[in-house]
Amino acid sequence: MALFTETGRIKPEVGIQSLIGKDRLEARRLVVALLEDRNVYRGAKEHSTRIATCERSGCVIEPMIQPQWYLKMEPLAKATLKATKNGLPRIRPDVPYQEFWIKWLKGTQDWCLSRQIWWGHRVPAYQVVDPFGKAPGRWIVAASESEARAKMTAEERDSYNLEQDSDVLDTWFSSGLLPLSTVEWKGGDSDRVPLGYPLSFIESGSDILFFWLARMAMLCELLPL
């Protein structure tokens, strides 16, 4: 159960009235006061630690667990490995980069492709919500709101709203779409190989061999040129 809002304030679920709505930094001091009032505070000890701060605002940066979107990579990695054995793509120099390429593909994990930032391509997922109670409903993945609305049931269209997820796609996912976005590919098996499919040759750095090149190959499933 989450005890903090997205802005770091204490939620009613905590069950302590004096803390509800307080910023988590202020709440820490209040918790100490509550412990002291009950005679159960054992004191504080100094210790060294590293605290991340924003270089622009100076605010403390604290991790917060959030729901994320993942892309299942195993079938895409297997297809890319198979294509690599057949000579597509060819990596030069092959030593040691071909070995790195194969090692990364064999160890690929599901890809967390969502980010909680304010710029980028928004995740194409829409949630069915109650317009009054804002109760969360099921998710519909679609290329547009109109396409998502077409996937709603008759009852949902009559009584519920659609809200697109505010998360955006991570940088590598967006840039990995380059070979397809440049030819205005819209998806779908009926148009798997767009005319004029680009990028038969790429010059790039070895440091992004996996982060961009391998993921770009997997996203495009190494469509034949």
- Please check whether residue 19 lies inside any domain of the structure: yes
Strands 114-115 and 125-129: unpaired
On whether both 99 and 60 belong to a single domain, the answer is no
On whether both 104 and 151 belong to a single domain, the answer is no
| pLDDT for the residue numbered 20 | 95
Task: Indicate the pLDDT class of residue 224, thresholds 50, 70 and 90.
Answer: very low
- Please check whether residue 224 lies inside any domain of the structure: no
| pLDDT for the residue numbered 102 | 93
DSSP secondary-structure letter at 104?
H
DSSP letter string, 61-98: P--------EE--HHHHHHHHHHHHTT-S--SSHHHHH
Task: Indicate the pLDDT class of residue 110, thresholds 50, 70 and 90.
Answer: very high
- Please check whether residue 22 lies inside any domain of the structure: yes
88 pLDDT more than 70: yes
- Please check whether residue 119 lies inside any domain of the structure: no
On whether both 198 and 94 belong to a single domain, the answer is yes
- Please check whether residue 46 lies inside any domain of the structure: yes
For the chain, the domain total comes to 3
193 pLDDT more than 90: no
On whether both 147 and 189 belong to a single domain, the answer is no
Mean pLDDT of 55-67: 87
- Please check whether residue 225 lies inside any domain of the structure: no
CA atoms of 155 and 176, how far apart (whole Å): 38
Show the domain range for 26.
1-65
Mean pLDDT of 101-125: 92
On whether both 160 and 173 belong to a single domain, the answer is no
203 pLDDT more than 80: yes
